[in-house]
Amino acid sequence: MRPVSEPSDNNPRLLVSVRDADEAALACAAGAGLVDAKDPANGALGALPVETVREIVKCVGASVTTSAVAGEPDDAAALASCVAAMAGTGVDYVKVAVRADHPDLALAEAAEAAPGRLIGVLFAGDVFGLNIVSRLAAAGFRGAMIDTRAKDGQRLGDLLLPDDLAAFVAACRAHGLLSGLAGSLSVDDIPALAAHAPGYLGFRGGLCRDGDRRNALDPLKVSAAVAALRALHRRDAA
């Protein structure tokens, strides 16, 4: 594991979820800011085998930040063990699904399994208040994201209003957490979501062939997403 280059301004970086080393290499070549290891055939936060994640980390090297999904444990007591298994692969960040009813102790134990590296993922269709952000920070999490659980065509904007997303990002910033927004996003969503200034915008299906997250990444779509974010960066710098 190496020092992580984190977003230092209000311009989000592109998170691209990949399923193997070949896709990781494609995402890096296109200019992704974070390569995220995930099994798209196994739900919103399906975990890849640890050996596959190690191959992705080896492929990426020091060229880009990495993360890996640790899954969606049904039992809060299983959070720490899921996180620990993925933390050992050498990724920069570990992502795991969290819920508002998870006890503070379970959250803290999960954070201890990946010190300074754990990202809590909340689902837009669940009921949670912004106090979960302060709880994650207090437990030792490094960041928080919002995603969509059911990959059935519903997008992040179908489930949460812009004001909700802005409040979430602001709460993360206030508590010193990295923030991310994801959930069946398309390149066309980038300008509106980037206006909230999250650390990352997360993509999978919107960058795959035929818009199907189970298909391979489309290099043209990945490049288009990178170009869209860079255009916003240039505009803001002008």
Q: Is the pLDDT of residue 10 over 60?
A: yes
In a domain, 61, yes or no: yes
Taking only the tens place, the pLDDT of each residue in 210-221 is 999 999 999 999
Assigned domain for 1 exists: no
With bands split at pLDDT 50, 70 and 90, how would you rate the model's confidence at 236? confident
pLDDT at residue 2, rounded to an integer: 54
Answer whether residue 5 is part of any domain.
no
Average pLDDT, the chain: 93
58 has catalytic annotation: no
78 part of a folded domain: yes
The pTM is what?
Answer: 0.94
What SS3 state is found at 122?
Answer: strand
Note whether residue 125 is domain-resident. yes
The answer to whether residue 113 is domain-embedded is: yes
Its domain, for residue 121, covers 13-237
Q: Among this protein's residues, is 38 annotated catalytic?
A: yes
Contact 15, 208 (CB under 8 A): no
Q: What is the CATH number of the domain that holds 224?
A: 3.20.20.70
How confident is the model at residue 1, as a pLDDT? 58
User: Do 224 and 37 touch, CB atoms closer than 8 A?
Assistant: no
User: pLDDT digits over 14-57, tens only?
Assistant: 999 999 999 999 999 999 999 999 999 998 899 999 999 999 99
> Is 40 contained in some domain?
yes
Which CB contacts under 8 angstroms, 24+ apart, belong to 136-139?
136/98, 136/107, 136/175, 136/177, 137/175, 137/176, 137/177, 138/104, 139/104, 139/107, 139/108, 139/110, 139/111
Residue among 38, 58, 151, 221 flagged as catalytic: 38
Of residues 58, 95, 151, 221, which has the active-site annotation?
Answer: 95
pLDDT in tens, 62-95: 889 999 999 998 899 999 999 999 999 999 999 9
Give how many domains the chain has, as a whole number. 1
| Token representation of residue 17 | 């979820």
60 in any annotated domain: yes
